[in-house]
Amino acid sequence: MTGVWLPEKALNVENVQEERMLEEIEIVKPGDIEARSMAIIDEIMGRTEWREPELSVVRRCIHTSADFDYSKNLRFSEGACEKAIAALKNGADIVTDTRMAMSGINKKRLAEYGGRVHCFIDDETVAAEAKARGVTRSSICMERGAGILKPVIFAIGNAPTALIRLYELIEEGRVRPELVIGVPVGFVNVVESKKLMMKTPGPWIVAEGRKGGSNIAAAICNALLYYKKKVES
């Protein structure tokens, strides 16, 4: 029966295609997955003008998001990474605007240096004060963070109102962060809040544009926590 497509033939073709797909799957040991991922990132990025320690931050953001735009939109004030790494190793705390960012930060590594992560967003007194004053909970969280009596890094990955309030607190002289990570995501006041933060002397790390997120804020924190000075060729 020439020219007749039989179901078993279709099944055979599908099996062949499936076998070819399985052959293309790369077998990687669980402990090697991250290193292999970073190697793929380096291969796709190719030659880059980024140097350490900024390169480690860029790579970690791409690793978290699979978005290579972070090789173009991340901005660093002068010496921001070096100052933050030193602060973390001297026991600085981290304040985040979301529990998601908090959960993504390596708290064990941070604790080894004597630091801890704070997120005040679920505090009932924060919610009550925000309602009474007609502001967002995130902005109140920044005020709470400014009251911590030790060096603090602020990691903002969601709320532009948090970044705006933090800018105001810096301008008022009420807080001097060891680093501001400004990567809120979205549309309303996101770009504007980042531009405001970049007007400060720093130190800050900002993702220009609308991209960012709590996962990116956590990724930047972890890149700084994990950083070990590399000898550049």
Q: Give the model confidence (pLDDT) of 95-154 as tens digits.
A: 999 999 999 999 999 999 999 999 999 999 999 999 999 999 999 999 999 999 999 999
Q: Quick one: pLDDT at residue 30? A: 83
Q: Where are the beta strands (DSSP E) in the chain?
A: 74-76, 93-96, 117-118, 152-156, 179-182, 204-207
pLDDT of the residue at 6: 54
Mean pLDDT of the chain: 91
Q: Which residue type, as a one-letter code, is found at position 60?
A: R
Q: How confident is the model at residue 16 (pLDDT cuts 50, 70, 90)?
A: low
pTM, full prediction = 0.88
**Rounded-to-integer distance, Cα 136 and Cα 72, Å:** 31
Could you count the other beta carbons within 10 Å of the beta carbon of residue 65? 16
Residue 54 is encoded by which pair of tokens? 């900024």
Q: Which residues pair with 180 in a beta bridge?
A: 154, 204
Decide if pLDDT at 230 tops 70.
no
CA 188 to chain centre: 20
Phi, psi torsion values for 59, nearest 5 degrees? -65, -40
- Domain 72-226: give its CATH superfamily: Cobalamin biosynthesis CobH/CbiC, precorrin-8X methylmutase (3.40.50.10230)
Tell me: the pLDDT tens digits for 62-92? 999 999 999 999 999 999 999 999 999 999 9
Q: Read out DSSP for 75-116? A: EE-TTHHHHHHHHHHTT-EEEESSHHHHHHS-HHHHHHTT--
Helix, strand, coil percentages for the chain (3-state, nearest 5): 55, 10, 35
Active site residues: 63
| The length of the chain, given as a count of residues | 233
Query: For residue 218, what is the enclosing H or E element?
Result: helix 214-226
Tokens of 50: 């980024």
Alpha-carbon distance 132 to 32, whole Å? 51
